[in-house]
Structure 1
Amino acid sequence: MSEHAIEFLRGWIGEKVHCQSSEARIEKQAETLARECAAKAAEVGIPLEDIQEEVGDIQELIASRLEEAAEADEQQQAPKAAE
């Protein structure tokens, strides 16, 4: 994948992917964000195939990032709940 495509995907995920609490919401959000990402990539001249060649299914990647964000948020909330 081109360096331009990698930079685009990293920046886009960092901007759009935020914590979600339930698995159902994560999957729905991942589906929506994957469509948005593909459309935005096309707008800037990056074929979806270039991205998928490097990372596989972008919906799965986004879902994984959403899950990581939710887990990190839960870990941050746990100490506050104990106080």
Structure 2
Amino acid sequence: MSEHAIEFLRGWIGEKVQCPHSPIEIDQQAETLAKECCAKAAEAGILLEDIQEEVGDIQELIASRL
């Protein structure tokens, strides 16, 4: 994965991923945040494939951070 993609993902997760109030909300929040992350990465010119190559499923990564 490119250094630019790594920096983007780290910054985005640090800014956007916050612990939900209820464990039940984790899957729903992770799905929403993954979609938002993909959209922002595309706006920044970062290919989803570059991110997935390094971290796998973005939704699973975000859920693990929540």
TM-score by length of 2: 0.96
- Work out whether 1:62 is the aligned partner of 2:62: yes
**Could you say which residue in structure 2 is the equivalent of 1:27?**
27
**Structure 1 unaligned spans of 5+:** 67-83
Structure number with higher helix proportion: 1
Q: What pairs with 1:7-46 in structure 2 (closer than 5 Å)?
A: 7-46=7-46
Q: Which has the larger radius of gyration?
A: 1
CA distance in 1, matches of 2:50, 2:24: 28
CA distance in 2, matches of 1:48, 1:23: 27
Instruction: State which drifts further: 19-28 or 31-40.
Output: 19-28
CA deviation after TM superposition for structure 1 residue 20, in Å: 1.1
CA deviation after TM superposition for structure 1 residue 21, in Å: 3.2
Q: Secondary structure at the match of 2:29?
A: helix
CA deviation after TM superposition for structure 1 residue 2, in Å: 0.2
CA distance in 2, matches of 1:28, 1:51: 21
**Could you say which residue in structure 2 is the equivalent of 1:71?**
none
**Structure 2 unaligned spans of 5+:** none
Structure number with higher relative contact order (C-alpha < 8 Å, ≥ 6 residues apart): 2
CA distance in 1, matches of 2:48, 2:59: 12
